[in-house]
Every structure is written in structure tokens, then in C-alpha cells.
Structure 1
Amino acid sequence: MNALTRPEYWEQGYVAREEGTEYRFGWRDYANHLLAKKIEDIGLDGKRVLEIGAGDSPWLPYFAGKYPGGRFAGLDYSQAGCERLAKRAAALGGASSIEVHHQDLFAAHSELHGRFDLVVSFGVVEHFADLAHALAAKRRYLKDGGLMCTVIPNMAGVLGRLTRRFNRSVYDMHNPHDWESFLDGHRRAGLAVLSGGYLGSSNFGVLSSCFRERRGLAWHTYVLLTRLSKAVWFLESRFGDLPASKTLSPYIVAVSRAK
């Protein structure tokens, strides 16, 4: 499957991670507000929704709390990631619930195959050399007529160039797709893209994985850039969104269906 990362990288990352954040979608979190809107526009109420790569996901608790009529599940091959997601799910209480599945996306046989109306992922498929192979694996979890929403960081733009400069090893864990190569991967996986493209004007917070220590010139440059993003978000939240672009947009998103 030509993975560009090792399981140990994710396992160690979850173990070392500080207390997880929660999305509130004010102006300080405007880029994620755009992602949430994109997914909610698909329709979640009453649907079976699976997030792949869901270790410690803040997305599933948010969606499960907002759409109690939906049924939500998360899949991840990291034991530590699943434990952190289960802790988040337990904190929901009430009628909301999230199934947690410790399982590899590429499992040859799974009771989860063919069960979901919507399968989403945030920053998963770009960690494989063969995009079509990863997308085809995601596709197996869909019901007939189900939809996929796939989000990747825009490593073909400024974020990719900065990642390569700040931390080459992190850059090498990504297949730096642009919109055209992302579309091609979907076609090769037998998926018809219904909507998508670059999303958001900027989000330099995506660069956080480049830094293990909070010191040095690169770190302070990153902090300055994140403050710039937040200043832009403040203006967008009041006066309207700036255009998305191949150069500066933080995300590439595709909503697709099996052909």
C-alpha cells in the first residue's frame, strides 16, 4: 500500500499529545468552520457516518452532538488514538454515541464494509504513494449510493513549501497533491467527484506538526503566520470569505460517489 508513514509515528504522537481541543467555530477557528459547513451541507441527520483516521477526532463528537439522529463511527489503526476517541465519546453522554473501531483502513474483510451513507477523512489519503489505492479502500465502507468526503492539506502550495523548509521529514510523509492530481486519483479509484476544490483563504496552523519544540526562529515565524491567519479570519467572519487559491488555501476537498 506504499504508506509514507509508520504506525509508530501516529501511536507515539497520540501518546504524547496534550489534551485534545474542541471545535467551537468562532472566528478564531474559521478554517474549520468552512470544513464543517462543507460536510454538513451533504446532510448528516439520520445518516450512518464513518470517519477514517479518527484517532482522537474532535469532529465526531461535534457532529454526534449536533445531529443526534445520526449514527457515527470512527476507525483508526492506532490503539492510543482509539482510546482517546473513546474518551471523547464517553464525555458526550446522553443519547449521542460514537462507535470506535480499532482497525486498519486496508483490512481485507471487515464487518464495516458497505455500511455507511457517508465516509469522511481529514488528512489520511495523502500519506500514501498511491492515492487511488487509498481512496478505493475508503470506498469499500460505503453503502450503494453513499458519498465520500475526502480532505487533504494543500501541500502543493505555500504550506508545502514551508513544511519542507521547517521540517523535511514531515513533508516527506505527504504526497503533495494539487486539485488536478486529486481529481485524477478519484477517477482511477472509480469515483465521480460531485463537488470540491481548494477551501479556505489561509490556515498556517496546519504547520503545527513541523515543530516538536517551541523555540527558534522557525517556531516564532510559525507563530507570527498563525496570527496573520487569525487576523484574516476575523475579517472574513464579518465581511465575507476571501477567494480560495492553489497558492494559499490550506485544504483540498472532494465530495464523491462510486461510479
Structure 2
Amino acid sequence: MVDGHLVEDGTGGRSVIVTGAGSGIGRATALAFAALGDRVLVADLNEAGAQAVVKEIERAGGTAVAVTGDLSEQAVVDRVAETATERLGGVDVLVNNAGIMDRMSALVDVSDSEWERVIRVNLTAPFLLTRAVLPHMLAVGKGVIVNTASEAGLRGSAAGAAYTASKHGIVGLTKNLAVMYRGQGIRANAIAPGGTATAIAVDVEAGAHGPAAIQPHFVNMGRLAQPEEQAAAIVFLASDAAGNINGVVLPVDDGWSAV
């Protein structure tokens, strides 16, 4: 224990924040860290989902706590950071996974509200939470950040204008973090999921230009991943085995990015 922070020893026992952990990739990631013996803060907008994951971890003998709220709000971000340090002993790993889809809208069809909400949740929220926890990591000279980007962060043909811009932003944020803080013991990487079997629904406007223009590109998408496959990549990037991997965006997409 250093300054209230449990130092990672590579065998579990870390304090891990996972956002969007009430379902899908986030849930699978929270369970995977807990299975290693890590203490997990389950952050999600959906209180019922977050509490269900906490109970699932506790039934398996693990330690978890839930914080619910909109992570694009500074007050919620502050509560997440404070809870992790006060109840879990620090912040060793931050997984910025929470996100929302857009309507696959082409730029001319994107409303102000769609743009602002998608950017706020997908890009500003990870920025706010990373800024909040970095001082805790810097204080002990060690920490790992893993962001969930997207295939849409690698190409222009996997989503609408707002989502694509937000995920390209996450890629840039990840690489900037890696360069800025590598000399202070911080690593930052991202996964870029392809199609994954989650409950996220896309509200597509019938006959809109965006979905029609994007659809032909999905023929090369490959098979749908399971959330656990994305979680495995996140856990690896957060592990000591990935100790010299920094600033990487790892596609987990059945080769879609290689097509």
C-alpha cells in the first residue's frame, strides 16, 4: 500500500474502474478483472444493471462497488474517482468503455442534439474521467488506461458522422496519453471492436442517406464477437504481459480492419 493505493503486483489485487459495466463489453470486462482477484468499480448509467454486476461479482467471492450516473457530468466523474480511492484503495486501471451509438447519420443529417450527445458521452466523458484519475496514478508512478474505441475509429465506413468522429477522437486521446505520460509509468492503449453481440440498438432513420451509404461496407465485417472476447483483449492490455505496449489501438474485429 502506497499513499492509500494498492500497488499492482501482476497477480490481481488491483483497483479497477470499468465504465459502461452494467452490460455488454463492460460487464464482461468487470467480471474478467474480478475473476483475477481485482477490486472493481462498476460505473454505469443504469443502476439496476450496475448493481446486478456487483452482486454477481460478490457471489463469486470478489469485491465490487457500483457508482451510477451520467459520466459526461463532472459531479458523477468526481464521485467515481472518489469512490475508487476511498473504498477500493486507489486507481490502478481505468477502462473507459461506456459509449452510445449514433443514428448512422451522414453529416448533413446530423442534428445538433445527436452530435453533442454522442461526442459528450463517447469522447468528453473519457477525457473527464481520465483527467480525474491520472493524479492518483501519477502519485504512485504507475497506472494503466484502456479505452474502447471502435472499428469506426479506424475507418470512415463503420458508423455515422458523430460516432465516427467520437471514436477517432478516442484514438487520438489514447495516443496522446501514451506519449505524454510514458515517462511517468502510465500506459494507455485502446481496443477497436468490430461487430459485437451486445444489447446496443441503433435507431436508424428509414431511407436516410447515411445507413444506405454505409451498409455495403458491412459485408466484410466478419463474425460477431462475444463481449468476453473484447474483455479478454482489455484485460491483456491492462496486464503486466503488455508492459511494453503503449499507444496501441488493437482491432478485435475478425480481420475487418485488414480488409
Q: TM-score, normalised by structure 2?
A: 0.50
Q: Which has the higher helix share?
A: 2
Q: Which has the higher strand share?
A: 1
